[in-house]
A and B are shown apart, each in its own frame.
Chain A
Amino acid sequence: MKHVCEKVSRLASEQLERQLTLSERLKMSLHLMMCSACLHYSRNLKKLSETLKLKRNDEEKSLYATTTLPVEKRQHISSVLSKMENAVD
């Protein structure tokens, strides 16, 4: 099989996006047993993706703990909304 690393590297990326088919998974795991470069690549991608997921969770947590719509923005939106309601009436 020629260009198998190239195909497997694509599967390594796609498994983060979708469920691989059974034959794709077999093909990939067989190859990973023989190819350390692809094994590292596949693990590195998972690591990167997991790192970013953790980071997003952290950011979301701190955002939800502390952030509110600022008062002046809230007032501005409120006045825009009243104008619109009056226009409708």
Chain B
Amino acid sequence: MSQKQLSEMNPQTWLQEHGDVLYRFALSRCKDPDVASDLVQDTLLSAWKSHASFAGESTVSTWLIGILKHKWIDHLRKTIRQREQVQEAEGDPTAWFDHNNGAWKDKPNAWGDDPASLCQNQQFLGTLQTCVDNLPAQQALVFDMRELRGLDADEVCKVCDISATNLHVILHRARLRLRACLDTNWFGK
């Protein structure tokens, strides 16, 4: 191991050099400054405990971010367990379609506004948030992780302990509801 790498194997140095990067990464995901700094601390503690396993194949910062991702997923898992476990069967998508001819019961309209202006429109974002909050709990959680926080699909699957197919079904149901909620409350009828 080179002199440089040796000096890098020091948690105080990690904190100095990578503290901000880790903190931003954590904050971008959890939005809570206290939770974010706890995650940084846990990350550095485990990094120190397992630093023998750092093979030097990646940079120190990539290695630390990898550990932080795991910490964040663990944290989410705990939060989900604390909440009441909400089980499947929330919202039958067939309810959106006519039983006899399979057509939409409530036909989607074209949304006029473009994403560049919508993403700056605080009122729209507020309405969207309300629609997300009104989803059944599991759909709200999954949609929030995937689309509002931008977690990778496999991260969401790990956190919720569901398969990719399951994830697709939940997101599908969530989007059916969100479309209807936004048509009613924002895009007008």
State the A residues within 8 Å of B (CB): 2-6, 9-10, 13-14, 16-18, 36-38, 40-41, 43-45, 47-56, 58-60, 63-64, 67-70, 73-74, 76-78, 80-82, 84-85, 88
Q: What 19 additional pairs, Cβ within 8 angstroms, besides A2-B101, A59-B28, A69-B20?
A: A3-B97, A6-B96, A10-B168, A17-B167, A38-B104, A40-B109, A45-B175, A48-B128, A48-B182, A49-B147, A51-B115, A52-B147, A55-B125, A64-B24, A67-B20, A77-B19, A77-B37, A77-B41, A85-B48
A14 adjacent to B111 (CB under 8 Å):
no
B108 adjacent to A74 (CB under 8 Å):
no
B15 adjacent to A74 (CB under 8 Å):
yes
A41 adjacent to B108 (CB under 8 Å):
yes
6 residue pairs, one from A and one from B, having the closest CB atoms: A3-B102, A69-B23, A73-B37, A54-B119, A37-B107, A50-B115
Q: How far is the CA of A52 from the CA of B110 in the complex (A)?
A: 18
B175 adjacent to A60 (CB under 8 Å):
no
B168 adjacent to A14 (CB under 8 Å):
yes
A85 adjacent to B150 (CB under 8 Å):
no
In the assembled complex, how far is the CB of residue A59 from the closest CB belonging to chain B, in whole angstroms?
7
B41 adjacent to A44 (CB under 8 Å):
no
Instruction: Please classify how large the interface on chain B is, using the bins under 10, 10 to 19, 20 to 34, 35 or more.
Output: 35 or more
For the complex, would chain A's binding face be called helix, strand, loop or mixed by DSSP majority? helix
**Cβ of B179 < 8 Å from any Cβ of A?**
yes
**Interface digits, B113-147 against A, CB 8 Å rule (1 contact, 0 not)?**
11110110000010010000000000000000001
State the B residues within 8 Å of A (CB): 11-12, 15, 19-20, 22-24, 27-28, 33, 37, 40-41, 44-45, 48, 93-94, 96-97, 101-104, 107-111, 113-116, 118-119, 125, 128, 147-150, 153, 164, 167-168, 171-172, 175-176, 178-179, 182
B104 adjacent to A80 (CB under 8 Å):
no
Q: How far is the CA of A47 from the CA of B125 in the complex (A)?
A: 13
- Within 8 Å CB of A69, what residues of B? 19-20, 22-23, 37, 40
- Within 8 Å CB of A44, what residues of B? 108, 110-111, 179, 182
Cβ contacts A to B, 11 pairs, < 8 Å: A3-B97, A10-B168, A17-B171, A40-B107, A44-B111, A52-B148, A55-B125, A56-B149, A67-B23, A69-B19, A69-B37
